[in-house]
Structure formats: C-alpha cells, structure tokens
C-alpha cells in the first residue's frame, strides 16, 4: 500500500504542476483580443498548454487507480466512487480541450479568415472550455470528499490534514457553483484545496498511507 500511496502522491504533484503551467500557457493565448487569429509561435505555445492539460487528465486517472486499493481497505463503495469521479473529471477535462484544439487546427485558414463569425466561434469555444472545467471541478470536489472522509475515518493520514481537504473541497464546490451561476468568487476559495493538494502528496510520498503517521484524535 505504501508504494501505491507514494505513486499517487507523485501523480498529485505532476497533475498540479502540469495543469498550472499548461493552463497558464493556454489562458494567455485564449484571452488575447485577437484570438483565434494567432501567429505560429502562439499556436506552438497553445499546443504545449493543451499537451500539459492532457498530462493532467492522465495523471488524474492514475491517482485514482493507485489510491483505489488504499481506499478499498476502508470501504469498497468509497473506492469505486472516488475512481469513478476522477474518470468523469478526466473526461470533462479532455472535453474542455476540444474547442481550443479545433480552432488551433484551422491553421493558416483561421489566420486568414479572422472574421466576426470565427471570433464568435472562438468565444463559444472559450465559454465551453470554462463550463467543462467547472463541471470537472464539481465532480472533483464530490469525489474527493469521499477520499477525505475515508482518510479521516481510518486515520491513514493525520485527521487535521483530512479536515483541511474537506474544507478545501467544500470551498471548491462553492466556487464552481458560484461561477456557474454567473458570480465571480475570485481565487480565495481555491486556497484551502490548493494547500491540501500540496500537503497531501508530500505526506503520501514521505509517510505513505498505512496509518504509521497517525496523529491523536
């Protein structure tokens, strides 16, 4: 189990790094006023961003696969629920890439034909990407609450860390719901979950998830 937990921890870090870098590269392109009319260098940057987002989606599934036997020892239904949620999350993340990828595939034709209809399609692609991402975050939040609940009950990680995860994913759910309702919650609600997704993989890599690092409570 320790090996599985450590592998999951490494994939957590890979997922976080690949998404942050990939999303940063891609967002800087998608938010430009001239999008989808882009230079070749911009297209290379956007493709690099999409590739890193693909790496993130693959890592998400890997995390669930490695944590499945760990969570199964507590309750199989929770392990199945977490695995299923992360597969759905990965599918939504991949779906969010379709619009930008299709627009980038227009090549020189897209650059030459930067009329209002193409820009409208570009705007719809960005909105579709954002909607798919928010749905992915909803699924992530719900599934990860199961994981944190299991860790809290079994004390495979410190309960304080499990509670941070519960707070973080509830905040993530709130952020996604507010965003989909048209509000702008800002970045504040991402902080608890972000801290958890940095602390958890470090703990898993160093201590594993066999309960050897239990804290009282």
**Per-residue pLDDT of the chain in tens (217 residues, 90 and over written 9):** 678 999 999 999 999 999 999 999 988 887 777 666 666 777 888 889 999 999 999 999 999 999 999 999 888 999 999 999 999 999 999 999 988 887 776 655 544 455 566 667 777 878 888 899 999 999 999 999 999 999 999 999 999 999 999 999 999 999 999 999 989 888 899 999 999 999 999 999 998 877 654 443 3
Question: Alpha-carbon distance 147 to 67, whole Å?
Answer: 9
Question: Alpha-carbon distance 18 to 7, whole Å?
Answer: 16
**Cα 201 vs. chain centroid, distance in angstroms?**
15
196, two tokens:
């958890």
Which pLDDT does position 215 carry in this prediction?
Answer: 42
Q: Are 205 and 166 in contact (CB under 8 A)?
A: no
Question: Alpha-carbon distance 73 to 154, whole Å?
Answer: 9
**Cα 159 vs. chain centroid, distance in angstroms?**
23
Which pLDDT does position 3 carry in this prediction?
Answer: 86
Which pLDDT does position 101 carry in this prediction?
Answer: 82
Q: How many CB atoms lie within 10 A of CB 166?
A: 19
**Cα 20 vs. chain centroid, distance in angstroms?**
9
pTM: 0.86
Write down the residue that tokens 């430009």 correspond to.
Answer: 32
Which pLDDT does position 35 carry in this prediction?
Answer: 67
């Amino acid at each position: 189990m320790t090996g599985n937990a450590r592998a999951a921890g490494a994939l957590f870090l890979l997922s976080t790094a690949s998404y942050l870098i990939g999303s940063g590269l891609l967002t800087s392109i998608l938010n430009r006023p001239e999008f989808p009319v882009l230079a070749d260098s911009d297209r290379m940057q956007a493709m690099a961003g999409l590739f890193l987002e693909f790496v993130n989606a693959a890592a998400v599934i890997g995390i669930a696969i490695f944590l499945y036997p760990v969570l199964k020892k507590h309750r199989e239904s929770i392990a199945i629920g977490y695995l299923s949620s992360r597969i759905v999350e990965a599918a939504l993340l991949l779906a969010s890439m379709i619009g930008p990828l299709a627009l980038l595939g227009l090549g020189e034709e897209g650059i030459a034909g930067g009329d209002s209809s193409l820009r409208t399609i570009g705007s719809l692609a960005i909105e579709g990407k954002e909607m798919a991402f928010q749905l992915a975050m909803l699924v992530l939040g719900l599934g990860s609450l199961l994981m944190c609940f299991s860790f809290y009950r079994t004390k495979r990680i410190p309960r304080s860390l499990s509670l941070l995860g519960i707070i973080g994913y509830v905040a993530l759910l709130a952020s996604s719901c507010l965003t989909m309702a048209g509000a702008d919650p800002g970045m504040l609600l991402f902080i608890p979950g972000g801290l958890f997704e940095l602390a958890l993989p470090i703990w898993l890599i160093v201590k594993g998830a066999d309960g050897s690092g239990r804290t009282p409570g």
